[in-house]
Amino acid sequence: MADETSTTMDAIYRPTVLICAITLTLCSSSCGIGQNAVDDANTLDEVVACVQAVLNPTNVEIVSLRRFANVAPSEGNPGQVRGREELAFATPGRYKRVLRQTLPESAPSPTPVIAVWGFDGPKSLSGLWYGAGLTNTSDSKLALVSSRAELFRFKLVSFIGQGTRRGLSLRPSVEADAVEVVAVAEDGQTATAVVDTAKCLPRAVVFERKANMIDRRRELAAGVTVDGDTRTVRTDVSDYRSFNGVLFATRSINSVNGQSYSEEDVENVEINPDLPATYFSGRP
């Protein structure tokens, strides 16, 4: 209990490593996958168009979204929080992610910790709840930057709103049968979507950030020494399903410098739900 709570607080106070990776991989022939393909000779426009045609064949305009998932620690990471996650955004400028900790029956306390990340315009929503009360709030400036980066990566790897190609560039990948779409946000944040050229689907989203306390704990537990203060964070995605005609991955594995720490299984994705302004509050 103490370790899980500490881990959650670290994630609140520092740039989160729980990436909301809602991306797409092979589901079945009925999804239209495999009917399109690109290679490293294609242009950025061709790659983006091919991916969007597979993920969103009817070109649904997504202005809001809500996703429900189960989060569990990867094998060998018992300190990682296990819980139920709800992630949502609404255009323009609203984002919220809530992680409700799931406690084992043997836990000494029946009250789970609830972590909230997000923003409503310029206002940070991030904080840590225990029961009905707010116990901690994160540094609002740092939390706002972190939450905006989460949404930026989520939209990149889901190819939501990438039709304008704004801030995008294409480069070869060291991975087989892949190219990389590199995105730069307005605030300078960068991330890369690794695209499977045979399926026209994102394989992963990758970015770099400074090491935090959680990273150092994992490295110490694994007996790993990492030089420098930069860590490479990656979310690999798979198991596609169609939700109201749009494909999303229902399985993701999150890792730092190749060491997996958490896994997510998506249960449902709501496309364009009615999310009132009151939904985007700091309360869980």
CATH number at residue 238: 2.50.20
Tokens of 188: 């300078």
Q: What is the dihedral of CA 66, 252, 247, 46, to 10 degrees?
A: 120
Domain that holds residue 115: 2-279
pLDDT of residue 3 exceeding 60, the answer is: no
Count structural domains, the chain: 1
Is 284 inside a domain boundary?
no
Counting residues of the chain whose pLDDT is more than 90, the rounded percentage is: 53
**Residue 25 pLDDT more than 60?**
no
CB 191, CB 15: distance < 8 Å: no
* Residue positions counted in the chain: 284
Answer yes or no: is pLDDT of 207 > 90: yes
Asked, for residue 199, whether it belongs to a domain, the answer is yes
Instruction: Identify whether the C-beta of residue 273 lies closer than 8 Å to the C-beta of residue 65.
Output: yes
How confident is the model at residue 101, as a pLDDT?
86
DSSP 57-123: TT----SEEEEEEEEEEPTT-TTS--EEEEEEEETTTEEEEEEEEPPPTT-S-S--EEEEEEEETTE
d(CA 130, CA 154): 27
Q: Taking residues 102-122, what's their average pLDDT? A: 79
Is 158 within 8 Å of 106 (Cβ atoms)?
A: no
136: in domain: yes
pLDDT tens digits for range 67-79 = 999 999 888 775 6
Is 10 among the domain residues? Answer: yes
DSSP helix/strand/coil, 49 = helix
164 versus 115: which is more confidently predicted? 115
In whole angstroms, give the CA distance from residue 10 to residue 14.
Answer: 6
Supply the mean pLDDT for the chain: 81
Cis peptide before 92 (omega within 30 of 0): yes
Name residue 232's amino acid.
T
Which of 35-44, 97-106, 212-221, 251-260 is the least confident region?
A: 35-44
Q: With bands split at pLDDT 50, 70 and 90, how would you rate the model's confidence at 16?
A: very low
> Other C-beta atoms within 10 Å of 205: how many?
28
CA 230 to chain centre: 19
